[in-house]
Structure 1
Amino acid sequence: MDKISRLPDELLVKVLTFLPTKEAVSSSILSKRWEHIWKWLPKLEYDDQHYSESERKRLRCFIVRSLPLHKAHVIESLRLKLSNSHYFKPQVIKWIVATAVSRNVRELDISYSSYPEKLNTLPSNVYTSKSLVVLKLSDWILLAVPPMVCLPSLKTLQLQQVAYFNEESLQRLLSNCPALEELKVDIWKDDNTRKFTIIVPSLQRLSLFIPFDYGIDGLVIKTPSLKYFKLRVHSSSSHYCLVEHMPNLIEAYIDVEFPNIKSLIESITSVKRLEICLEVLYEEGIVFSQLEHLKLCRCKDCTSNLLVRLLKDSPNLRVLNLYEMIDHYYCGIIPWNPPSTVPACMLSSLQIFNWSAYSGVPGERDLAIYMLKNASHLKTATILSDECDIPELEMLKELAFSSRASTTCEFMFD
């Protein structure tokens, strides 16, 4: 301990950052040398999950005593995972957050659970912070964005199952984040917001999740700089949808169930890597000229027709994966209807074909044989079998001895 105590303050502070905040503060009792080191901690974390009421009381007393003594001019991060209880009432949490913002906090990560259920707001200085770079909010928080809002340094914003004061709240917040690069929005199923407008010229990563059967009225997305796009919307109702073209898009994850998908599909034609599951078939005339990696979920009735269209519309496709997205389930036997002409990518660029959860039923078998028979530049074909009535050896023989367009294709079956 004596050798460690001789280290410069900066190194001792770094050592303490590897400890939970409460333990780091308790180091002050070690010796006179350690008495004030903790006050310069750049990262603070408070978590009362799974605490008893007596433990919450001690944690509250600890925060109230220690936070005013903190001296760091910049707090790199404050993480709160607290619950609404007798000791952590909304005004206490507001005070903690407001104090951190006044100390030029760069990252705020706030998760607030409430029993009984009650929404809580943030202190107003959060919305005018010049230092804030990362803001993550989840659970029982009400996003009541004031008229005066400006977050000039904010680059990452995550809103997971929070509530919105009105339909303009999200749009107002986003329009005052000129440097925003990453946005993640998971809509709370009990929220009453029905129109979502995301217009952020600087945005590079966007993830939007709207839960199953959520009554959405309109969706507008204008993000010309986007490189990564994840969209999960499951809504049977018809609604307004305008998604503008994303010329810089590299990777997209699309899992949607709503009728009007024209502008959505047209917006992602520049994508290079695509994971997709659609309830309806998109219109003809769309070309994915840069698409190289395609992962297609096979759970929908239109999967066979969708695969044919994507193969025809992706002339430079190199990798094809057939699989099931998380929480998706195969709907049953889907007949394979081969195209009248072999898609160009199968004759020139397709090199890798992977299929997971293969069952060997007639439609699947016909598709697998078609791929092997017509993909003339195929290097590897990997098929992972699923539990089924057909013995694996029989499936293996059927595919292994089928004709192949590529004489160098390595066939793997597991």
Structure 2
Amino acid sequence: MDRISNLPDELLVRILSFIPTTKVAVSTSILSKRWEYLWMWLPKLDYGRKDCPVSECESLRCFLDRKLPLHRSPIIESFRLELCNSVFKPENINTWVETALSRCLRDLDISLHDDTDPPKFPNILPSDVFTCKSLVILKLVGEILLDVPGLVSLPSLKTLKLQRLRYFNEETLQRLLSNCPILEDLVVDLRDYDYESAGKLTVAVPSLQSLSIYIPYYQVLDGIVIETPNLKYFKLMDHSINDHYVFIEKMSDLIEAYLDVTFTDLKSIFGSITPVKRLSICSEAIKPDEDFVFDQLEHLEVCICTLFASADQLIELLKASSKLKSLGISFFDQHTPSGMVFWNQPTTVPECILSSLQSFSWSKYTGEPEERDVVVYFLKHARQLETATIKSSEPSGVPKSEMLNELELSPRASATCQLMFD
């Protein structure tokens, strides 16, 4: 330890910065006089945890009140708080954040958890947050009221993550977004079991590269408006059972999209994402009369839920994707397996199956007749198929050996296709 203590302060602080939590880094102050104040130069501060007991929360509150103002680093790269107890008052958090902001803060991450019923939604953010020139990343999660003042200017903000917050009014989010001129990455997750109407959700950010939106089951919403012409990644999980409109401006540079939606009109989405190259989709509303063409699509992942309503929906997607190279069928996260409907084998074969499809996979394969017929159909018609990967479901009513034998004996259009079974 003596040899380490003789190292320069800058090097010792760098060593401390690799310690996982600030709490542990602070504990090194008891080693010797040499280490007593080194933690005060740490550029990354991480405090609290979700399951923190009351006594520990009280100790943390006292520590931050007394010690944070004494922090010596001229620049705080990141300041993270995860708080879960009423011990932490809004005025406490407000003061701590102000202190961090005064040190050219780049990354602010706050998670606030409230288990009371109904939960409280305090306004914990000082107005300085919304005019911080150094802030690059802002993440807010949990029972927080987002009330954006009239004066907003975040010239350096590139990443914004807003999860399960409550917004002061319908204009709050757009007022914030319209004053982030170089924003690239945005996540907006509305609250579960929040029965108050969110009005219209508007995302109009020309600079945006990545957008992820989650609309929960019971959320009341008038509509969604998205104007992000330079977007490259788009994720929409819209599970709301309440009717609402969707307007999406054309995304000419889109590379990847993830759609998990329950509403019945997909025209507004499909017409905007046709340049996409990678698409993951779960929907029971792909209608045969939809007029859409994915002329750049090479990789398609389809949730088995999409096949539940009608296996014809898969064929409709394939007809619109003439350059498709890989197709995967699986269950998306948190989706529950269920039996597939009868497979009505199409009278014509989509062009991509005949000429471009090289890879096919099925996860959680049960070996039931409906699923087997779909796999056999692809093996029979995919002339350019190189690999067909089947991952069985556990447990399954059909023995693995029986599943494998059925597929091994089925005809294949591609003599070089490798059938792999897991």
TM-score, length basis structure 1: 0.95
- How far apart are residue 380 of structure 1 and its match? 0.9
Q: Secondary structure at the match of 2:271?
A: helix
Q: Deviations over 1:123-147 (max 9, x none)?
A: 1111111111111101110000111
AA partner of residue 234 (structure 1): H
- How far apart are residue 48 of structure 1 and its match? 5.0
Q: Which runs of 5+ in 2 are unaligned?
A: none
- How far apart are residue 299 of structure 1 and its match? 1.5
**How far apart, CA to CA, are the structure 2 residues paired with 1:358 and 1:397?**
14
Q: Secondary structure at the match of 1:355?
A: strand
- How far apart are residue 362 of structure 1 and its match? 2.6
Q: Which runs of 5+ in 1 are unaligned?
A: none
**How far apart, CA to CA, are the structure 2 residues paired with 1:23 and 1:234?**
41
- How far apart are residue 29 of structure 1 and its match? 4.1
Corresponding residue for residue 118 of structure 1: 120
Q: Secondary structure at the match of 1:326?
A: coil
Does the 8 Å CA contact 2:256/2:278 hold for their aligned counterparts? yes
Greater shift after overlay, 154-163 or 266-275? Answer: 266-275
Does the 8 Å CA contact 2:275/2:297 hold for their aligned counterparts? yes
For residues 22-41 of structure 1, what are the structure 2 equivalents within 5 Å?
A: 22-41=23-42
Q: Secondary structure at the match of 1:322?
A: strand
Corresponding residue for residue 4 of structure 2: 4
- How far apart are residue 115 of structure 1 and its match? 4.8
Does the 8 Å CA contact 1:238/1:259 hold for their aligned counterparts? no
TM-score, length basis structure 2: 0.93
**How far apart, CA to CA, are the structure 2 residues paired with 1:221 and 1:385?**
39
**How far apart, CA to CA, are the structure 1 residues paired with 2:112 and 2:260?**
29
Q: Secondary structure at the match of 1:267?
A: coil
Corresponding residue for residue 253 of structure 1: 258
Q: Deviations over 1:28-87 (max 9, x none)?
A: 44344334322211011110543333322222222122111112111000000113423x
Cα gap change, 1:327/1:51 in structure 2, threshold over 3 Å: closer, same or farther? closer
- 1:364 corresponds to which of 357, 361, 371: 371
**How far apart, CA to CA, are the structure 1 residues paired with 2:261 and 2:24?**
46
- How far apart are residue 211 of structure 1 and its match? 0.6
- How far apart are residue 184 of structure 1 and its match? 0.7
Corresponding residue for residue 293 of structure 1: 299
Corresponding residue for residue 156 of structure 1: 159
Q: Deviations over 1:276-304 (max 9, x none)?
A: 01121145331111111111011143341
Does the 8 Å CA contact 2:280/2:302 hold for their aligned counterparts? yes
Q: Please, what is the CA RMSD of the aligned residues?
A: 1.8
- 2:230 corresponds to which of 225, 228, 233: 225
Cα gap change, 1:21/1:412 in structure 2, threshold over 3 Å: closer, same or farther? closer
Q: Is 1:278–2:283 an aligned residue pair?
A: yes
**How far apart, CA to CA, are the structure 1 residues paired with 2:310 and 2:374?**
12
AA partner of residue 214 (structure 2): F
**How far apart, CA to CA, are the structure 1 residues paired with 2:399 and 2:26?**
63
Does the 8 Å CA contact 1:297/1:303 hold for their aligned counterparts? no
AA partner of residue 390 (structure 2): I
Does the 8 Å CA contact 1:85/1:115 hold for their aligned counterparts? no
For residues 340-379 of structure 1, what are the structure 2 equivalents within 5 Å?
A: 340-379=347-386
Cα gap change, 1:42/1:358 in structure 2, threshold over 3 Å: closer, same or farther? same
AA partner of residue 104 (structure 1): C
For residues 146-225 of structure 1, what are the structure 2 equivalents within 5 Å?
A: 146-189=149-192, 190=194, 191-225=196-230
Greater shift after overlay, 386-395 or 219-228? Answer: 386-395
AA partner of residue 341 (structure 2): I
Greater shift after overlay, 71-80 or 228-237? Answer: 228-237
Q: Is 1:42–2:48 an aligned residue pair?
A: no
- How far apart are residue 413 of structure 1 and its match? 2.5
**How far apart, CA to CA, are the structure 1 residues paired with 2:391 and 2:85?**
48
- How far apart are residue 203 of structure 1 and its match? 0.7
- 1:397 corresponds to which of 391, 395, 405: 405
Does the 8 Å CA contact 1:281/1:302 hold for their aligned counterparts? no
Cα gap change, 1:211/1:389 in structure 2, threshold over 3 Å: closer, same or farther? same
Does the 8 Å CA contact 1:289/1:314 hold for their aligned counterparts? yes
Q: Secondary structure at the match of 2:367?
A: coil
Cα gap change, 1:26/1:339 in structure 2, threshold over 3 Å: closer, same or farther? same
AA partner of residue 391 (structure 2): L
Q: Secondary structure at the match of 1:64?
A: helix
Q: Is 1:127–2:98 an aligned residue pair?
A: no
AA partner of residue 231 (structure 1): L
